[in-house]
Amino acid sequence: MYKIIHDKDEMIIRFEKDLVDGETLSRFLSHINLQSMLKKSAGGDASARLRARSHLAALPTGIALLRDPSLNKGSAFTLEEREALGLTGLLPPRVHTLDEQVQRILENLRKQSTDIERYVYLIALQDRNKTLFYRVLLDNIEELMPIVYTPTVGQACLQFGHIFRRPRGIYITARDKGRVAELLGNWPFNDIKVIVVTDGERILGLGDLGADGMGIPVGKLALYSVCAGIHPSLSLPVTLDMGTDNARLLNDPLYIGLQHPRIRGELYDEMLEEFILAVQQVFPGCMIQFEDFANRNAFRLLQQYRDQVCCFNDDIQGTAAVTVAGIFSALRITGGDLKEQRFLFLGAGEAGLGAGELLVSALVDAGLSLDEARRCCWYVDSKGLIVKSRTDLSGHKLLYAHDHPPIADFHTAVETLKPQAIIGVSGQPKRFTPEILETMARINERPIVFSLSNPTSKSECTAEEAYTWTEGRAIFASGSPFDPVVIKGRKLYPSQGNNVYIFPGVGMGVMASGAVRVTDEMFLVAAKVVAGEVSDADLEYGRVYPPLPRIREVSLAVAVAVAEVAYREGLAAKPKPDDLAEYIRGLMFEPEYQTYI
């Protein structure tokens, strides 16, 4: 796509006419840190010419080039590149292809004896050679997503300070008050389109892991690049280290965060506000994804900022979309009418109430009144069934407090309410007991059982339990992956009901259209698109989500639909391309080596 001619006084980069769009160009230029020196050619077409004095030289050379993970190709540098870029002698003589390098990585990875070792190995690869890292992940997504994401990322966060090698992303603490913009400005890339930010207080279902929660934004952003092709240089993981109330971390000499109790109240809110404003200033137009904040902050931060800046909460909105998508697919198996379903959630937090809200939108779309739609959704929280007579309810829970006698436990709620679907989002393992599953199977020909809590150790039941206690009739999805299960000689394929089907595509759709807000409508269309990508053959295997190897196509379809919403709702800052799908496809990062010479 581009060619670099390099002599001792100047460097010229010529972009082939019409092959390079502004986004690719700026991405490339931000790599080489010379964006300010770009001069468009007189015709203003897609060709561009850059001149720079050699002391500002573009590509690093020699060891510095090998140490730059965005540009490094390792043994794949050609002999010409080695000569021109001062690499001759610094690499073993044999030139390898990207495919051969992938083979080497897989061989080594599979030799590791534990998943956490595989995690450390992959993160080290990300530190060395991003192209190779993303190639390996993209081509082996089913095998490797459980390593860079749930469940292994959970284990990594539990011991983050102990496996820590190199920093990644930006850490912001309360002692940085007044200079958050300056910290963001320290990031080497200035064209950031997506930030995933956490304060580490509710990492998966593992609770408060403080700054050790950084593994989550890092993992989510790797998936933005793998699943939706958002170029890695366009995203930034951020941890707001507001302290931790985790006694183990407060006493751990290897903990990476500040060892003080969690900051609450005014100072916390001021830090959040400063961060949000700093992002607008340093990375205008950047989308912010709130991730794994505790319930007490998640809803109110979303409420506060969703109409002010381009942001969303993945645990509330992303999870909602993937849950609704799974329900749409499951109904194709049961033949049920959405309007006649009763959904019983175990857990009435971010994931549960977010899913309820989106289900209600879908039910209203299907013709129910708001009240009727809400009556389809029932919740059991840590204190029992949510009903009108309870006096301890607040916020969104009140919307689902139906007129019904109190029920203390989930099994009795299942027996009494006879739901078609039970959805576990409690972060509490093993709550879908054999008795509950048997009851679901007695009530329903094809019971819908979604056990969405992460990581695997927190799942409300395993795939094997779900199938065993329902005689293989359950339509089962889980937040973390489970292997297929053979029941009575039949192989059943559980699906992974995880917001990874949603957030990468949403981010790409927002970026492509320049959407200035992220709306609920975007999540509803995302749910419909994901459900629409499930084939009849998938359903026959028992899958309610598309197979992971199709995730790029699925994310592309989500991105197109989300961008369409942005254009329709007047939220898009960019002109609409004639062919939106082709345009977005063109933005997608392919992990391939560029030819430097």
Ligand X SMILES: NC(=O)C1=CN([C@@H]2O[C@H](COP(=O)(O)OP(=O)(O)OC[C@H]3O[C@@H](n4cnc5c(N)ncnc54)[C@H](OP(=O)(O)O)[C@@H]3O)[C@@H](O)[C@H]2O)C=CC1
**Is residue 147 near ligand PYR by the rule CB under 6 A?**
no
The reply, when asked if residue 292 is annotated as ligand binding, is yes
Which lies closer to Mg ion via its Cβ, residue 315 or residue 533? 315
Q: Which residues contact 351 (CB under 8 A, 6 or more apart)?
A: 315, 316, 319, 320, 323, 425, 452
* Catalytic member of 73, 130, 220, 458: 220
Secondary structure string (H, E, C) spanning 324-369:
HHHHHHHHHHHCCCHHHCCEEEECCCHHHHHHHHHHHHHHHHCCCC
**Is residue 498 near ligand PYR by the rule CB under 6 A?**
yes
Provide Rg for the chain, Cα atoms. Answer: 25
Count of H-run helices and E-run strands, the chain: 25, 18
**Is residue 396 near ligand X by the rule CB under 6 A?**
no
Residues 297-356 that bind Mg ion (CB under 5 A): 315
Residues 284-313 that bind ligand X (CB under 6 A): 295
**Is residue 555 near ligand PYR by the rule CB under 6 A?**
no
Given 292, 350, 357, 533, the residue binding Mg ion (CB under 5 A): 292
Q: Which residues contact 394 (CB under 8 A, 6 or more apart)?
A: none
Q: Which does 322 bind (CB under 5 to 8 A by kind): ligand X, ligand PYR, Mg ion, none?
A: ligand X
Which lies closer to ligand PYR via its Cβ, residue 131 or residue 150? 150
What's the Cα-to-Cα distance from 597 to each of 14, 51, 182, 341, rounded to whole Å?
A: 12, 16, 36, 61
Given 458, 473, 528, 552, the residue binding ligand X (CB under 6 A): 458
The reply, when asked if residue 371 is annotated as ligand binding, is no
- Which amino acid is residue 319, in one-letter code? T
Q: Pick from 80, 139, 136: which is nearest to 108 by CA?
A: 136
Segment contacting ligand X by CB under 6 A, of 63-71, 82-90, 265-273, 344-352 = 344-352
**Residue pair 269/240 in contact by the 8 Å Cβ criterion:** no
**Is residue 519 near ligand PYR by the rule CB under 6 A?**
no
**Is residue 314 near ligand PYR by the rule CB under 6 A?**
yes
**Is residue 315 near ligand X by the rule CB under 6 A?**
yes
Which lies closer to ligand PYR via its Cβ, residue 101 or residue 150? 150
Q: In what order do the strands lie in the sheet with 311-313?
A: 170-173, 235-241, 194-198, 287-290, 311-313
**Is residue 460 near ligand PYR by the rule CB under 6 A?**
no
Residue whose C-beta lies closest to ligand PYR: 454
Spell 388-413 as b/e; 16+ CB within 10 A means b. eeeeebeebbebbbbeeeebeebbeb
- The least distance separating ligand X from the CB of residue 321, rounded to whole angstroms, comes to 10
What's the Cα-to-Cα distance from 90 to each of 61, 63, 128, 160, 488, rounded to whole Å?
A: 11, 8, 15, 33, 59
**Residue pair 384/406 in contact by the 8 Å Cβ criterion:** yes
Given 322, 359, 417, 551, the residue binding ligand X (CB under 6 A): 322
- The least distance separating ligand X from the CB of residue 44, rounded to whole angstroms, comes to 45
**Is residue 542 near ligand X by the rule CB under 6 A?**
no
**Is residue 204 near ligand PYR by the rule CB under 6 A?**
yes
* Catalytic member of 119, 134, 149, 501: 149
> Residue count at the site for ligand X (CB under 6 A)?
30
Binding characters for ligand X, 125-144, by CB under 6 A (x = yes): --------------------
**Residue pair 341/331 in contact by the 8 Å Cβ criterion:** yes
- Report how far residue 168's alpha carbon sits from residue 189's, in angstroms, rounded to the nearest whole number: 13
**Is residue 346 near ligand X by the rule CB under 6 A?**
yes
Phi and psi angles of residue 486, each rounded to the nearest 5 degrees, phi first: -100, 120
- Report how far residue 133's alpha carbon sits from residue 122's, in angstroms, rounded to the nearest whole number: 7
The reply, when asked if residue 315 is annotated as ligand binding, is yes
CA count, 13 A, side-chain hemisphere, 135 = 19
**Is residue 428 near ligand X by the rule CB under 6 A?**
yes
Active site residue 17: no
Which lies closer to ligand X via its Cβ, residue 70 or residue 295? 295
Tell whether omega for the bond before 92 is within 30 degrees of 0, i.e. cis. Answer: no
**Residue pair 69/129 in contact by the 8 Å Cβ criterion:** yes
Which lies closer to ligand X via its Cβ, residue 59 or residue 348? 348
Tell whether omega for the bond before 455 is within 30 degrees of 0, i.e. cis. Answer: yes
**Is residue 176 near ligand X by the rule CB under 6 A?**
no
Binding characters for ligand X, 347-386, by CB under 6 A (x = yes): xxxxxx---------------------------xxxx---
Burial class of 464 by CB neighbour count within 10 A (0 to 12, 13 to 18, 19+)? middle
Q: At what angle do helices 319-334 and 520-532 cross, to 10 degrees?
A: 40
The reply, when asked if residue 129 is annotated as ligand binding, is no
- The least distance separating Mg ion from the CB of residue 205, rounded to whole angstroms, comes to 10
Residues 459-518 that bind ligand X (CB under 6 A): 479, 497-499
Active site residue 111: no
The reply, when asked if residue 291 is annotated as ligand binding, is yes
- Report how far residue 532's alpha carbon sits from residue 240's, in angstroms, rounded to the nearest whole number: 37
**Residue pair 479/497 in contact by the 8 Å Cβ criterion:** yes
Which lies closer to ligand X via its Cβ, residue 31 or residue 397? 397
Query: Which spans of this chain sit near ligand X (rule: CB under 6 A)?
Result: 202, 204-205, 295, 315, 319, 322, 346-352, 380-383, 425-428, 452-454, 458, 479, 497-499
Residue list for the binding site? 202, 291-292, 315, 454, 498
Active-site residues, by number, are 149, 220
Residue list for the binding site for (S)-malate? 202, 454, 498
Query: Which spans of this chain sit near ligand PYR (rule: CB under 6 A)?
Result: 150, 204, 292, 314-315, 454, 479, 498-499
Query: Which spans of this chain sit near Mg ion (rule: CB under 5 A)?
Result: 292, 315
Residue list for the binding site for a divalent metal cation? 291-292, 315
